[in-house]
Amino acid sequence: MTSKLLNEIVEKIRKELKGKGILACSGGTDSSVLAVASKLAVGDQILSIFVDTGLIREGERERVELFFKKFGINYKILDESKLFFEKLKGIVDPETKRKVIGQTFIELFEREAKLSEAEFLLQGTIAPDWIESGGKNRDTIKSHHNVGGLPEKMNLKLIEPLRDLYKDDVRELSEELGLNTSLQPFPGPGLAVRVIGEITGEKVEILKKVTRIVEEEIESSMKPENRPWQYFAVILPVRTTGVHGDKRSYGNTVAIRAIDSTDAMTGTFHKFEWDFLEELSTKITNEVPSVNRVVLDITDKPPATIEWE
């Protein structure tokens, strides 16, 4: 017996979708719930699309493809890392990064919509996204790309069935549908907002390795319910001196960000044990030699946001 909430979502999709639709699926909790709900609602009438921007974590693409297969979802994977890196060349301002990425996503989806003759785009936008995107009175804290980045003249009709739901509502749906519920939230623009300053292939590769180490160390030492709401790394445009085996080095700095929250609206930085932090830092600097300094972000939200950009 499906829950009232799931039925509402399924009905909304059936009511609003006319003809074919495409669905922006990042493999995160929100869009995955939407992809499975859409399969229940209208089967293969919707094509779920995962865009490999090159700004995603190690193994992300493989994980998402497994998810599509496991739930029998009609899917397509776009390999567009070259395009995104070109579009982001030389861009430093965070809001511009988000807008450029958002627009590139939309251009890709418009192209794919034409290919599959779909007029509708389904997106997993949930309540906190549209709050932070600045409405009439709200200050634009950060335009979440799946809302803020939408160019005005988008000729795809948008369906956002999760628009009034909070993270905890979506988690309930995720449990009901048998999805992996211990996925931490991952931003739409991906690692682009965790490379502070200009994005280069080299920095992204470093960040991917450090991110994997942070996730592995935390996920292997903590049960899902004890893990921070979000835990990740940020690579800073700061080089500092180091000494590697009696040789002077001039390496990269990464920051660890781990925050406790229930719905991302507020948060307190996670208080790790000192020994855990020392092991984590040593593992990072050993396995990623170009990083010779690891710092910890100890700022709550507010005044800081969870992500750095």
Partner 1 sequence: MKIYVVDNGGQWTHKEWKVLKKLGVDSEIVDNDINFEEIKDSDGWVLSGGAPSITNEIPKLGRISEILDKTSVPVFGICIGAQFMALHFKGEVRASPIPEFGKTKVNFFNQGGIFKEIPSEIVVWENHNDEILSISDDFKICSNSKNCKVQAFYSDKKSMFGVQFHPEVENTQYGTEMFKSFIEYCRR
Q: Which range in 5-13, 179-187, 192-200, 259-267 contacts partner 1 by CB under 8 A? A: 259-267
Give the number of other CB atoms < 10 A from CB of residue 197. Answer: 15
Q: How far is the CB of 127 from partner 1 (least distance, A)?
A: 6
DSSP 3-state of 244: strand
Among 110, 119, 176, 300, indicate the residue that binds partner 1 (CB under 8 A). 300
Whether the CB-CB separation of 229 and 263 falls below 8 Å is answered with: no
Q: How far is the CB of 64 from partner 1 (least distance, A)?
A: 29
- 155-184: contacts with partner 1 (CB under 8 A): 166
Whether the CB-CB separation of 123 and 16 falls below 8 Å is answered with: no
Distances (CA, A) of 298 to 9, 214, 226: 38, 16, 18
Instruction: Kindly state the tokens that stand for 275.
Output: 């020994």
Q: How far is the CB of 259 from partner 1 (least distance, A)?
A: 12
Q: How far is the CB of 195 from partner 1 (least distance, A)?
A: 26
Instruction: Kindly state the tokens that stand for 195.
Output: 């490379």
Nearest to 288 by CA among 229, 219, 212, 206: 206
Among 184, 268, 277, 296, indicate the residue that binds partner 1 (CB under 8 A). 268
Among 3, 240, 266, 286, indicate the residue that binds partner 1 (CB under 8 A). 266
Binding-site residues for ATP:
26-32
Q: Is the peptide bond before 185 cis (omega within 30 degrees of 0)?
A: no
131 versus 277: smaller Cβ distance to partner 1: 131
- 100-159: contacts with partner 1 (CB under 8 A): 127, 131-132, 135-139, 141
Cα distance between residue 226 and residue 222, in whole Å = 6
257 versus 293: smaller Cβ distance to partner 1: 257
Q: Which residues of the shown chain bind partner 1 in the complex (CB under 8 A)?
A: 127, 131-132, 135-139, 141, 166, 262, 265-266, 268, 300-303
